[in-house]
Structure 1
Amino acid sequence: MSEQNVQFSALQNYWTDAAQRFVLSLDVLRQRGNDYFDHAAMKAPNVLNFGVELVADGRKLERPVNYLLTRVIPPEGVAADPRKPPIVVVDPRAGHGPGIGGMKDYSEIGAALAAGHPCYFVGFLPEPVPGQTIEDVCRAEAAFVEKVATLHANADGKPIVIGNCQAGWQIMMMAALNPNLTGPIMLAGSPLSYWAGVHGKNPMRYLGGLLGGTWLTALTGDLGAGIFDGANLVANFESLNLANTYWSKPYNLYSKVDTEAKRFLDFETWWGSPVLLNANEMQWIADNLFVGNKLAAGQIRTSDGTRIDLRNIKSPIICFCSWGDNITPPQQALDWILDLYQDASEIVANGQTIVYAVHESIGHLGIFVSGQVAQKEHSEFVSVMDLIDVLPPGLYEAVIDVAGAVEGNRALIQGDYLFRLEARTLDDVRKFGVNSDLDNKRFATAARVSQINLGLYQTFLQPAVRAAASETTAAFLRESHPHRQRFAAFSDRNPAMASVKAAAETVRAHRKTAGDNNPFVAMERIGSAWMTTWLDSVGAMREAMSEAFFLNAYASPWLQAIVGLGGEQGEESRRAARDLNREIASTEMRARLEDRFEAGGLEEAFLRALIYIRLPEGSIDERGFNMLKIIRESRTAGERLDNQRFKEILREQLQLVTLDPERAIAALPKLAPAGSTEGAKALKALHMVIAARGAPPKEGQRRLAQVEQLLGSKASTTQALGGNG
């Protein structure tokens, strides 16, 4: 066959394949449109991949909300361990419907069930209860967690709560108002510091200032007759990535339509079903968080005047974020710590435990969908929650290593990865990038401009808009929203799509694909790459222009002076205010510690010695903790400490060692006398736990020898470690 004939044959095969892919893609869009209407017709639509049963209905609470607490039914062959603390996954109500946290087998819910935890899911209905507020939602979530705790009163720990995206800051508010209610709190892609970011990235933080503030939020809610359409939030998300929205996602379906249809339809069912919020809920979010950035600074109060201070939270807090997340970048996920504290020692003094992990690449949705790229993190966090729950106060970074590369005691590592916690300082968080004082002044100016514009709108335009709006016009605006129309337009309700189903069936019966070696397929892919690059360039140019406009406009001394931020007034701190009651309590606690150096027995001696030896390393991994659990299980039920008591002793011993290490360690013989049975038991357990991780560095060995001398051991450090390795 001549070269010309070969090329013609390749072109013919390509055009056949391309035309068939077009028909099949249209049919997938038709199914998507039909799924959109079917999903919207459900009473409680969700995309959960697990069965659930209703436990509590938020509409029946004293202050009703449209949230529901459900129990996740474990799949066949999976059993929940009643001793393990239950895990409550709370989904974000940020425009989309519920279920993203349990959309796949390897989701957060899947990881929790696989680890043997009883699992609960907090979702919501498409329409809000009239009059419900964000505060009402926080109260409902507290009631749900309390209900779960009651159902699992015999579990070894309080309920673990996972808050995804928007649900994260709600859970933090709930925990700040109910400090003793939950176990560890995990925030997945949750923004808490909305002004944070770095120049050249994170464009969403400028949006409020570019739009003149939150008056448009009020206008949208008024046009919706008191309802804010979540489709507007979805549209904001889509506008962030022009290439993905307008080319990469549809092209990915078209180019892989034979294999991509199911994944595409599963995701679009969730993406294409926006929910509604009360206008007052969305206005509260926009004023206090998006533009006001008031949460971390402790400037939000409840209806009864209670100030929400995140420093009140006593449960360990885990922040999981990613460099690939353009909606909640690491700065917005972590800079609230800088707003609350000036030094890591303040975190310890406050008795707060904060753990963070930063993924290199996963996007915003992947953080809580728990796609395969983040499956490692979710599985590890779930498997070591009991370790995090008893972790001493402080700031830590979670590091997850491949277990095969770890030397020593592989049997003490759960799964394929070693979970390690490294002590960090606030400078480690600052390295991710922080705002300058000028940046903070710009954002404060934007917040003042927002207040002024909102006041002008409410005074002069709002009465007329509300008078003109009605339920009928609001419903029409929602149905005609471009986000909904692009789903409906390809459904069977459109007569123009009548022939697509039959055509697609014919194509499937006679499907012919062009091979990857077809030159025209290669040309198509090159063209797609060019289109993606061009749209990325357009998006980057738009973001650069938007940032430049924001930075220049809100740096104007004239504008800052007009809104009352001229001169020194603009230097107001974004940090949370001093809390004298907290400082008094800290002083009283230190006074109480003076009487605790020689108080206690075997458990206190063992934990104090362990902290003293390992403290210089600034690192904790799961092997030592798993050895602790083995030692605990070897004791009779009457001798075992429960988790709460263990935490109390551990924290007190850490405070004592930190306050005066030499005095704390010199008092060991008072707790477990040298040569006594208690001293021998303490040393034996100490050697086992230390050997679990391997020999400590020189300073740790020196401290171990010091402890052995105080407790009366004749064995050398080397012999002890070798005998227990």
Structure 2
Amino acid sequence: MHPLDMMKVYGRVAEIYRLRLGEAISAYGEAMRGAAGAFAGAARPQTPEEAWRDTVSYTFDAMQRGLIFWDTMRQRGNNWIAHEKAGKPPLLAFDYEMIADARAFERPCNYALVRILPPEGVVLDPQQRPFLIIDPRAGHGPGIGGFKKDSEVGFALKAGHAVYMVIFFPEPVPGQTLADVSLAESEFLRIVRARHPATDKPVVMGNCQGGWAAMMVAALDPENVGPVVVNGAPMSYWAGNDAENPMRYAGGVLGGSWTALLASDLGGGVFDGAFLVDNFEYLNPANTYFTKYYSLYEKIDTEPPRFLEFERWWGGYFLMNRAEIKWIVENLFVGNKLAAGKAEWAPGKSFDLKAVRSPIIVFASLGDNITPPQQAINWVADIYPTTQALKDAGQVIVGLMHDSVGHLGIFVSGAIARREHAQIVDLIDYVESLPPGLYGMTIEEDHSGPEPKYDVTLTERRVEDIDWLQKYGRRDEIPFEVVANVSQSTSRVYETFVHPLLSAVITPEMGRALRAVHPLRMARWGLSDLNPALKALAPMADFARSQRTPRNEAGAHVAAERFAAAAVTAGWDLYRRLRDATVETEFFRLYGTFAMLDPDLTAPVAPALVEQPPAEVEAALAAVRDGGFADAAVRIALLAQKRGNGERRLSTLKRIRELVGEDVGLVALSADAAQAIVRRQALIVDHAPDLALDTLPSLLKTPQERARIIDLLDRLGAHIAFGDPVAAFGGEVRDRLVAADAPRSATITAFPTLAAERAG
């Protein structure tokens, strides 16, 4: 790159940094002004008697709150110790039974398959396909998918589905690898399918890290996987936007994967999940060090049960083998190899996401700073560069985007479970009947009755428009290529000179001792009954609970407390914004410089070559006159959809199935057979819509069949308002079918080739 161009880039980076510093200071000033305004609004003149009563009530309340607060922290520590002694079982709100333990497999690993037992009053439908839910192994233990009754597990059970979960144990089997884990999860999938032979293939749902695990299982064993649901799952690891997604710079700031290797060596060959939890807590220091504790203090009479429930899961740190974290960091977080098809599970064998043929539902949130939506969805454009490529591959991808919920809220929020996850479960029975393409999923609410009612709208989107999530058209991902190269170099140096020394010195026993004094663990066992200084705390806190003295919530002291809390939070937020801006700027200054010096990285991207249509497209068009009644009905539906507004409402799809589903014949077929018909007819309609309409009578071989399809169209038109364009198309179909029964003076010539059709 020319030096002048480099100076321009540096100038732009410096300008963005200056703007971010100004925004950070402005946000701090606004927060402080808001806090001061709230304090001024709450403060009012008091008589000496009122001031005295306010001071006394506040002082006694503060003493009681303090006792109860610290006793809650003591209970947190005791819960942590009890959970450790119990072997850290899954924190599920449901009972379960063990089905298979992968520790006994030929290639053992610390995973197991359990069946969720339906609670009292929930009846499962043996005709409904089962769900297999994979929870994340990202520092914490399993259970997040069924943490509450209103959860992914809960709503799948309510809908009549049998539910299985992939859980894991605290310590890995010595020598296990990520390949062993993926192969075990594939075996779990086959076990689930064998237990439900009369149903369609299982739904595989993955949360966060479990999302990419689910995709890898679907790539390994596509023949046994039904629809795949990935919730808040990072798949395109370099993606994101400046000032929004600070975690994506961690690999570059730390110099690559060698830090994970160092942590593993200090653990005696085992990586401590507490380090991953540290990464999460790093993102929001205000919440980590103050806000969640002040929220507990402020709502001390109601908050402890919720606080303790969540902290039991948050404080359960699970371990990984060195080989596992090495593969994850090098292939995913730093290397970003999964979407590129370069993440190998065995020599010469890679996870190929193009092999996944099942529909995929992606749930992400604009408020998620751990897995931003760019990381959740950009892999689609990496694999299928155009909408036509996605359709020709026969793939269905549905994207659901929330406006604001954070990462953990995607999995544990009861409101999200009742709205988003319940609708995803409802959509499962219909997603396989969608023609290939990319769809945006929106959820509409109706609050006119005592209970909210929901409806789902699916709108066709273009792969080319995924770029709307990006500020710079993904050009800011170029420096991450440099990070990957630097990581390879630093890792080789580490493995050559440091690893042999540490592995000879640090024993597994020393690793356990070092884990015990990790700050996150010390914060728990240090504030527990193991601490003799807290012996008298429990009875004093119980006495405080029984003698609660309410404070004046509108008093000056409470107003001052809330002002101080807001000031502390604003200070931490200012620190976070300044820190993130500085880290991001230095990242681009360092790695951006190396990227600009590499002509291969900065060269203009050559226009993509137009790919030849795949054999499946040619085969479908060659068989444009082949098929039967179900093929004809599907073709008419797809042609009608082209005349419509590109939207599909789930309530309408349900009504169509109710009115004509049995007559069309797809319902009686297996999901694979029905999906094959939809895919074949979608290819024909997409590539040659006029020919698809002209040859429609060829699929309806008798006057009785043509009359029958007209009857179905009349039945649908009488009960569903499709709109004028679709209604007009129905009349056009009727005219062609009626004309097909009359003598024809000419016949349609056979369709020779796709090239000839396009030339015409």
* TM-score of the aligned structures, taking structure 1 as reference length: 0.92
The answer to whether the Cα contact below 8 Å between 1:108 and 1:370 also exists between their aligned partners in 2 is: no
The answer to whether the Cα contact below 8 Å between 2:268 and 2:509 also exists between their aligned partners in 1 is: no
Matched, 1:210 2:247: no
Which stretch of the first structure deviates more once superposed, 473-482 or 304-313?
A: 304-313
Structure 1 residue aligned with 2:727: 701
Match of 2:130 among 61, 82, 86: 86
1:505-524 equivalences under 5 Å are 505-524=542-561
Whole-Å Cα distance in 1 between the matches of residues 355 and 617 of structure 2?
A: 18
**1:349-399 deviation per Cα after TM superposition (whole angstroms, max 9, x unaligned):** 001111111101111011112431453000000011011122211100101
Amino acid at match of 1:310: L
Structure 2 residue aligned with 1:300: 343
Whole-Å Cα distance in 2 between the matches of residues 692 and 476 of structure 1?
A: 71
SS in 2 for 1:56: strand
Structure 2 residue aligned with 1:367: 410
Q: 1:31 to 1:71 in 2, by over 3 A?
A: same
Whole-Å Cα distance in 1 between the matches of residues 320 and 463 of structure 2?
A: 37
Structure 1 residue aligned with 2:17: none
The answer to whether the Cα contact below 8 Å between 2:392 and 2:614 also exists between their aligned partners in 1 is: no
Shift of 1:303: 1.1
**1:114-156 deviation per Cα after TM superposition (whole angstroms, max 9, x unaligned):** 111111111100000111111111111111111101101101x
Amino acid at match of 2:181: V
Structure 2 residue aligned with 1:568: 600
Whole-Å Cα distance in 1 between the matches of residues 670 and 508 of structure 2?
A: 56
Match of 2:443 among 389, 400, 408: 400
Match of 1:589 among 596, 604, 616: 616
SS in 2 for 1:228: strand
Whole-Å Cα distance in 2 between the matches of residues 478 and 692 of structure 1?
A: 66
Match of 1:598 among 622, 625, 628: 625
Q: 1:690 to 1:24 in 2, by over 3 A?
A: farther
Structure 2 residue aligned with 1:717: none
The answer to whether the Cα contact below 8 Å between 1:57 and 1:69 also exists between their aligned partners in 2 is: yes
The answer to whether the Cα contact below 8 Å between 1:632 and 1:640 also exists between their aligned partners in 2 is: no
Match of 1:457 among 494, 511, 515: 494
Structure 1 residue aligned with 2:178: 134
Match of 1:545 among 578, 582, 587: 582
Q: 1:68 to 1:476 in 2, by over 3 A?
A: same
1:368-387 equivalences under 5 Å are 368-387=411-430
**1:69-108 deviation per Cα after TM superposition (whole angstroms, max 9, x unaligned):** 0000000000111111101111000000111110101111
Whole-Å Cα distance in 2 between the matches of residues 418 and 695 of structure 1?
A: 17
Q: 1:245 to 1:379 in 2, by over 3 A?
A: same
The answer to whether the Cα contact below 8 Å between 1:624 and 1:690 also exists between their aligned partners in 2 is: no
The answer to whether the Cα contact below 8 Å between 1:196 and 1:435 also exists between their aligned partners in 2 is: no
Structure 1 residue aligned with 2:680: 652
Structure 2 residue aligned with 1:720: none
Q: 1:450 to 1:416 in 2, by over 3 A?
A: same
Matched, 1:120 2:146: no
Whole-Å Cα distance in 1 between the matches of residues 117 and 398 of structure 2?
A: 30
Q: 1:643 to 1:682 in 2, by over 3 A?
A: farther
The answer to whether the Cα contact below 8 Å between 2:387 and 2:464 also exists between their aligned partners in 1 is: no
Unaligned runs of 5+ in 2: 1-44, 741-760
SS in 1 for 2:469: coil
- Identity percentage over the alignment? 39
Structure 2 residue aligned with 1:719: none
**1:324-360 deviation per Cα after TM superposition (whole angstroms, max 9, x unaligned):** 1110000000111121122111100001111111101
Q: 1:636 to 1:211 in 2, by over 3 A?
A: closer
SS in 1 for 2:622: coil
Structure 1 residue aligned with 2:295: 252
Amino acid at match of 2:414: G
Q: 1:691 to 1:236 in 2, by over 3 A?
A: farther
Match of 2:432 among 365, 374, 389: 389
Amino acid at match of 1:672: L
Which stretch of the first structure deviates more once superposed, 510-519 or 648-657?
A: 510-519
Match of 2:155 among 111, 134, 142: 111
Whole-Å Cα distance in 2 between the matches of residues 145 and 435 of structure 1?
A: 40
Structure 1 residue aligned with 2:705: 678
Q: 1:165 to 1:638 in 2, by over 3 A?
A: closer
Match of 2:469 among 432, 439, 442: 432
Whole-Å Cα distance in 2 between the matches of residues 336 and 643 of structure 1?
A: 26
Shift of 1:249: 0.4
Amino acid at match of 2:560: M
Shift of 1:302: 2.4
Whole-Å Cα distance in 1 between the matches of residues 219 and 717 of structure 2?
A: 36
Match of 2:67 among 19, 23, 28: 23
SS in 2 for 1:712: helix
Amino acid at match of 1:248: T
SS in 1 for 2:543: helix
SS in 2 for 1:467: helix
1:214-229 equivalences under 5 Å are 214-229=257-272
**1:662-713 deviation per Cα after TM superposition (whole angstroms, max 9, x unaligned):** 1111112222258x22223222333444666523243x23322211212239
Whole-Å Cα distance in 1 between the matches of residues 717 and 348 of structure 2?
A: 49
SS in 1 for 2:205: strand
SS in 1 for 2:400: strand
The answer to whether the Cα contact below 8 Å between 1:111 and 1:379 also exists between their aligned partners in 2 is: yes
Whole-Å Cα distance in 2 between the matches of residues 664 and 280 of structure 1?
A: 53
Whole-Å Cα distance in 2 between the matches of residues 606 and 288 of structure 1?
A: 45
Whole-Å Cα distance in 2 between the matches of residues 611 and 690 of structure 1?
A: 16
Matched, 1:96 2:124: no
SS in 2 for 1:59: helix
The answer to whether the Cα contact below 8 Å between 2:206 and 2:231 also exists between their aligned partners in 1 is: yes
**1:148-184 deviation per Cα after TM superposition (whole angstroms, max 9, x unaligned):** 01101101x2100110000111111111121221111
SS in 2 for 1:17: helix
Whole-Å Cα distance in 2 between the matches of residues 469 and 639 of structure 1?
A: 61
SS in 2 for 1:180: helix
Whole-Å Cα distance in 1 between the matches of residues 289 and 695 of structure 2?
A: 69
Matched, 1:487 2:524: yes
Whole-Å Cα distance in 2 between the matches of residues 9 and 597 of structure 1?
A: 87
Paired residues, what number? Answer: 694
Structure 2 residue aligned with 1:536: 573
Structure 1 residue aligned with 2:311: 268
Shift of 1:594: 3.1
Structure 2 residue aligned with 1:623: 651
Q: 1:532 to 1:639 in 2, by over 3 A?
A: closer
Unaligned runs of 5+ in 1: 715-725
Whole-Å Cα distance in 2 between the matches of residues 2 and 191 of structure 1?
A: 55
The answer to whether the Cα contact below 8 Å between 1:196 and 1:434 also exists between their aligned partners in 2 is: no
The answer to whether the Cα contact below 8 Å between 2:88 and 2:141 also exists between their aligned partners in 1 is: no
Shift of 1:45: 1.3
Match of 1:77 among 113, 121, 138: 121
Which stretch of the first structure deviates more once superposed, 7-16 or 641-650?
A: 641-650
Structure 1 residue aligned with 2:539: 502
1:471-482 equivalences under 5 Å are 471-482=508-519
Whole-Å Cα distance in 2 between the matches of residues 514 and 204 of structure 1?
A: 42
Shift of 1:621: 1.4
The answer to whether the Cα contact below 8 Å between 2:229 and 2:361 also exists between their aligned partners in 1 is: yes
SS in 1 for 2:619: helix
Whole-Å Cα distance in 2 between the matches of residues 638 and 704 of structure 1?
A: 20
Whole-Å Cα distance in 1 between the matches of residues 413 and 566 of structure 2?
A: 27
Shift of 1:43: 3.3
The answer to whether the Cα contact below 8 Å between 2:269 and 2:508 also exists between their aligned partners in 1 is: no
Matched, 1:41 2:78: no
Q: 1:305 to 1:711 in 2, by over 3 A?
A: same
Matched, 1:614 2:641: yes
**1:624-655 deviation per Cα after TM superposition (whole angstroms, max 9, x unaligned):** 32134324665699993333322111111111
Which stretch of the first structure deviates more once superposed, 645-654 or 375-384?
A: 645-654
Whole-Å Cα distance in 1 between the matches of residues 617 and 240 of structure 2?
A: 37
The answer to whether the Cα contact below 8 Å between 1:366 and 1:374 also exists between their aligned partners in 2 is: no
Whole-Å Cα distance in 2 between the matches of residues 690 and 38 of structure 1?
A: 63
